[in-house]
Amino acid sequence: MTGAVRLSLVALPLALLALAQGFGELKFQRLALGYRFTEGPAWSKEGAYLVFSDTPSDRLLKWVPGHDVTVYRTDAHGPAGNAFDAQGRLYTCETRTRRVTRTDKNGKIAVLADSWEGKRLNAPSQIVVARNGHVYFTDPAFGEQSDHRELDFHGVYHIPPRGPITLVAKSAGRPRGIALSPNGRTLYVSNADEHNIRAWEIDRNGEASGERVLTAKIDGVPGGITVDDKGNLWVAAKGVAVYSPEGKRIHFIEMHDLVSMTFGEADMKTLFLTARAAVFRARPDIE
């Protein structure tokens, strides 16, 4: 580990400077505050804006640089993870309807997945879309969701651009965060119960194989994950743990209430973080 910084996101002022050895200076800016539970930040490259979920309030919210946060959509069925594809369409995991949807640029919503082998999904959580249109999402069950399960496992799924949904993996532990390497050839999934990150190799057809544990014994409960342009994996758990593509922890920032993260803005190097009631923006200066 090259250094550590301890921060409390809820207590952060509008802007805070924190020196992180090996990672330069981090400046945090609070974009929004006062939500019930925020997660699933996703950056639209085409539209140059951020979308995130306020899950208990059934809302998707939108932030455009230089403007206040606005409501993107209400009655969003307990939205969790979000992602945009290369065409600017929004993909959302809906925990209450137990489905994955896609919203086109005209606002039309299509259901992409809601069942597996005739049984309803548990509660889709986090999602990622490859540049070639292949979609991957996690399907755990937490709290009351476990009382209504029809499947006897927690899953990771693949939705190809054409053809039926396929199962990447199933487990007793609950998969949570999901991300792809910059070249799209490696799929990463965090597991909240096993405290690890698993990885799969992705072939030209979008199929996953070669499952392995990339890193184990993660401190805290790993949730949302994202990847920077150097291929480093950022994990929201007991703070932010940063791992090299080989699975070595290279940095750690101790934080509280962190849920999920994504990179965005024009160069895709700005880090957006959701922390329960708040949303933050940070600009890592990675050496």
> What does 214-269 look like in DSSP terms, one character per residue?
EE---SS----EEE-TT-PEEEEESEEEEE-TTS-EEEEEE-SS--EEEEETTTT-
pLDDT at residue 2 is higher than 50: no
> In which element (H, E) is residue 61 found?
strand 59-63
pLDDT score recorded for residue 182:
97
Q: What are phi and psi of 133, to 5 degrees?
A: 95, 0
Report, as an integer, the average pLDDT of 57-78.
96
Q: What gap in Å lies between CA 70 and CA 90, rounded to an integer?
A: 16
Closest CA to 81 of 42, 107, 130, 47: 42
Quickly count: other Cβ atoms within 10 Å of residue 152's Cβ. 8
Reading the block at residue 194, the tokens are 């096993």
Query: What percent of the chain has a predicted confidence (pLDDT) above 70?
Result: 90
Return the amino acid letter for 124.
P
Residue with tokens 């994950």: 225
Q: What gap in Å lies between CA 72 and CA 93, rounded to an integer?
A: 15
Q: pLDDT tens-digit profile of 87-125? A: 999 999 999 999 999 999 999 999 999 999 999 999 999
76 or 6, greater pLDDT: 76
Question: Confidence band (pLDDT; 50, 70, 90) for 283?
Answer: confident
Question: Confidence band (pLDDT; 50, 70, 90) for 20?
Answer: very low
Q: What gap in Å lies between CA 202 and CA 222, rounded to an integer?
A: 22
Closest CA to 242 of 282, 184, 200, 193: 282
Q: pLDDT tens-digit profile of 203-222? A: 999 999 999 999 999 999 99
Which stretches of 70-180 are assigned E, i.e. beta strand? 70-73, 79-84, 90-94, 99-103, 109-113, 115-116, 119-120, 127-129, 135-139, 154-159, 166-171, 175-180
The domain ranges of the chain are 4-230+243-282
3-state SS of the chain: helix, strand, coil percent to 5? 5, 55, 45
Q: pLDDT tens-digit profile of 170-200? A: 999 999 999 999 999 999 999 999 999 999 9
Q: What gap in Å lies between CA 39 and CA 126, rounded to an integer?
A: 9
Q: What gap in Å lies between CA 232 and CA 248, rounded to an integer?
A: 10
> What pTM was computed for the model?
0.91
* Residue 59 bridge partners (DSSP): 54
Correct CATH for 4-230+243-282 of 3.30.70.360, 3.10.20.30, 3.40.190.10, 2.120.10.30: 2.120.10.30
Question: Confidence band (pLDDT; 50, 70, 90) for 5?
Answer: very low
Handedness of CA 93, 97, 100, 104 (dihedral sign): negative
Report, as an integer, the average pLDDT of 58-87.
96
Q: What gap in Å lies between CA 280 and CA 271, rounded to an integer?
A: 8
Q: pLDDT tens-digit profile of 223-281? A: 999 999 999 999 999 889 999 999 999 988 878 888 899 999 999 999 999 999 999 99
